[in-house]
């Protein structure tokens, strides 16, 4: 059984003699000892004693109790209607899932050294990792977390329960070990079984090194990594089905629709993976049901997805150019026709010439076969079908494109996540938007932060002492394809 208590899924066990607070080996998570969710208080900065400026939705939340209940009922009704509309098993959906799973299973794990030195997109890798760290650093701590409590040895701080949906090969394990508030339990879910095995292995080797991550004791964050948390990994499609039947998720607390004051996870993270859910409304709703069901009230839903504003404006530009091209061609053809009516003999000669060259266009050939695409040296986006002329994706589901990223993603089908539609849908599941920024803007606003700025240097995003950016313009263009977000479960 792959669930809570499953030996194979559990961290290395501590011996009785080792059982002291300073030991950095993971403590097995015990759901029975879970404290109920605490009331929210003012938040503080992860790095110092100054209060965090970010205001989190609490009593100020735009979503009132009445509208929350109304949204829940509306969501339930819509889910029921969708269930009746859709066939019980959609074979097409499973084919897409298989393609995505097979792709991620096949991506080789080349190791940290290769990623940091030989990779042609090492600047982009570092930059993406830095943005993910920023989001984890900014939004993972509870509002009443006291920075430095652990360092001061008070240990009074509550520890975090983290759910990483689409965890892949466990690339964020080290980032969670460096979170400002210590993590007690990390649960990683992903449908790619090979990736899950690699994530488990990565965790094991962290534990075997005494919980020190891969950076020889001190993390890239400049401080000593915290004690390694307990971690569980499961192979799971989190968009096509409920995650409420996984033992560890149930043990932490999962609600099916109704709002309950359960313990739940403090953070659900979905890095670079939510766009696979926007294939259908049913999947997008199932994904949000899983996120909201797993989160406690006041919990945070963090992640990053492709930027629909960028996609929309590229698509609009492409369609405008295509329209101009078609109009220009139609005009030229009309002019030719007019000329040939004036002088029929000339046209016959011309047609003959074209036929000899094999260049005569078939009658009825449509120019509009061209579809939207753009690229640079390291990434490419290609829509296989027609796209909206104004770049606004309606209805908001099923807008498939193929994404290619040098060394990382080979033409995998992804789906546009139209931002406003997603934000509105999230409200149906009591998830209120707190933060939404393009990766470029995250850089602009955080690069001089007293913790995140130096972190960018240690992570290889820029040279030391505020030096040059180590991300090429092509890599920055590819990074700008993404936005980071944070929602609060209200």
Residues that bind ligand SAM (CB under 6 A): 100, 104, 165-168, 171-172, 190-192, 195, 237-239, 271-273, 276
Q: Is the CB of 165 or the CB of 484 nearer to ligand SAM? A: 165
Three-class secondary structure assignment of the chain: CCCCCCHHHCCCCCCHHHCCCCCCCCCCCCHHHCCCCCCCCCCECCCCCCECCCCCCCCCCCCCHHHHHHHHHHHHHHHHHHHHHCCCCCHHHHHHHHHHHHHHHHCCCCCHHHHHHCCCCHHHHHHHHHHHHHHHHHHCCCCCCCCCCCCCCCCCCCCEEEEEECCCCCCCHHHHHCCCCCEEEEEEEECCHHHHHHHHHHHHHHHHCCCCCCCCCCCCCCCCCCCCCEEEEEECCCCCCCCCCCHHHHHHCCCCCCCCCCCCEEEEEEECCHHHHHHCHHHHHHHHHHHHHHEEEEEEEEEEEECHHHHHHHHHHHHHHHHHHHHHHHHHHHHHHHHHHHCHHHHHHHHHHHHHHCCCCCCCCCHHHCCCEEECCCEEEECCCCCCCCCCCCCCCCCEEEEEECCCEEEEEEECCCHHHHHHHHHHCCEEEEEEEEHHHHHHHHCCCCCHHHHHHHCCCECCCCCCECCCHHHHHHHCCEEEEEEEEC
Q: Is the CB of 189 or the CB of 426 nearer to ligand SAM? A: 189
Minimal distance, residue 456 CB to ligand SAM, in Å: 18
Query: Angle 186-191-193 (CA atoms, 0-180°, nearest 5)?
Result: 85
430 is in an annotated binding site: no
Q: Is the CB of 170 or the CB of 253 nearer to ligand SAM? A: 170
Q: Is the CB of 56 or the CB of 285 nearer to ligand SAM? A: 285
Minimal distance, residue 165 CB to ligand SAM, in Å: 5
128 is in an annotated binding site: yes
- Contact of 420 with 283, CB cutoff 8 Å: no
Minimal distance, residue 16 CB to ligand SAM, in Å: 36
Minimal distance, residue 138 CB to ligand SAM, in Å: 17
Q: Is the CB of 120 or the CB of 158 nearer to ligand SAM? A: 120
Q: Is the CB of 403 or the CB of 419 nearer to ligand SAM? A: 403
Minimal distance, residue 366 CB to ligand SAM, in Å: 34
Q: Is the CB of 106 or the CB of 360 nearer to ligand SAM? A: 106
Minimal distance, residue 320 CB to ligand SAM, in Å: 31
Minimal distance, residue 416 CB to ligand SAM, in Å: 16
Minimal distance, residue 191 CB to ligand SAM, in Å: 5
Tokens of 168: 């892949």
Q: Is the CB of 104 or the CB of 139 nearer to ligand SAM? A: 104
Question: Which residue's CB atom is positioned nearest to ligand SAM?
Answer: 168
Annotated binding residues: 128-129
Annotated binding residues for mRNA: 128-129
């Amino acid at each position: 059984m792959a669930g809570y208590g499953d030996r194979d899924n559990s961290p290395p066990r501590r011996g009785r003699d080792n059982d002291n607070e300073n030991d950095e080996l993971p403590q097995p998570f015990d759901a029975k000892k879970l404290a109920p969710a605490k009331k929210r208080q003012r938040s503080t900065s992860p790095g110092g004693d100054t209060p965090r400026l970010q205001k989190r939705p609490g009593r100020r939340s735009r979503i009132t109790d009445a509208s929350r209940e109304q949204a829940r009922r509306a969501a339930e009704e819509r889910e029921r209607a969708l269930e009746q509309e859709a066939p019980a098993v959609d074979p097409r959906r499973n084919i897409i899932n298989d393609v995505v799973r097979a792709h991620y299973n096949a991506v080789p794990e080349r190791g940290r050294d290769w990623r940091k030195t030989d990779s042609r997109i090492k600047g982009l890798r570092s930059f993406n990792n830095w943005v993910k760290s920023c989001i984890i650093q900014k939004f993972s701590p509870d509002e009443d977390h006291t920075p430095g409590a652990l360092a001061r040895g008070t240990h009074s701080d509550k520890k975090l329960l983290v759910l990483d949906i689409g965890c892949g090969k466990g690339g964020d394990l080290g980032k969670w070990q460096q979170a400002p508030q210590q993590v007690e339990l990390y649960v990683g879910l992903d449908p790619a079984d090979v990736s899950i095995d690699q994530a488990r292995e990565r965790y094991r080797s962290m534990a075997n090194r005494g919980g020190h991550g891969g950076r020889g004791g001190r993390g890239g964050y400049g401080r000593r990594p915290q004690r390694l948390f307990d971690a569980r990994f499961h192979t799971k499609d989190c968009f096509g089905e409920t995650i409420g039947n996984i033992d560890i998720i149930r043990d932490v607390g999962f609600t099916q629709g109704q709002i309950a004051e359960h313990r739940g996870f403090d953070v659900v993270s979905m890095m670079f993976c939510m766009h696979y859910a926007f294939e259908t409304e049913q999947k997008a709703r199932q994904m949000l049901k899983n996120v909201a069901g797993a989160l406690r009230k006041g919990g945070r839903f963090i992640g990053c997805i492709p930027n629909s504003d960028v996609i929309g404006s590229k698509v609009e530009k492409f369609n405008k150019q295509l329209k101009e091209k078609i109009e220009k061609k139609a005009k030229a053809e009309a002019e030719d026709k007019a000329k040939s009516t004036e002088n029929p003999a000339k046209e016959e000669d011309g047609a003959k010439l074209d036929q000899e060259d094999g260049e005569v266009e078939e009658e009825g050939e449509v120019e509009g076969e061209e579809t939207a695409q753009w690229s640079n040296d390291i990434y490419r986006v290609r829509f296989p079908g027609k796209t909206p002329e104004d770049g606004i994706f309606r209805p908001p589901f099923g807008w498939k494109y193929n994404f290619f990223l040098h060394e990382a993603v080979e033409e995998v089908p992804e789906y546009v996540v139209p931002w406003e539609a997603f934000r509105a849908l999230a409200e149906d599941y009591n998830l209120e938007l707190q933060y939404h920024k393009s990766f470029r803007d995250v850089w602009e606003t955080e690069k001089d932060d007293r913790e995140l700025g130096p972190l960018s240097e240690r992570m290889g995003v820029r040279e030391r002492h505020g030096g040059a950016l180590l991300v090429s313009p092509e890599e920055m263009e590819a990074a700008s394809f993404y936005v980071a977000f944070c929602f609060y479960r209200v």
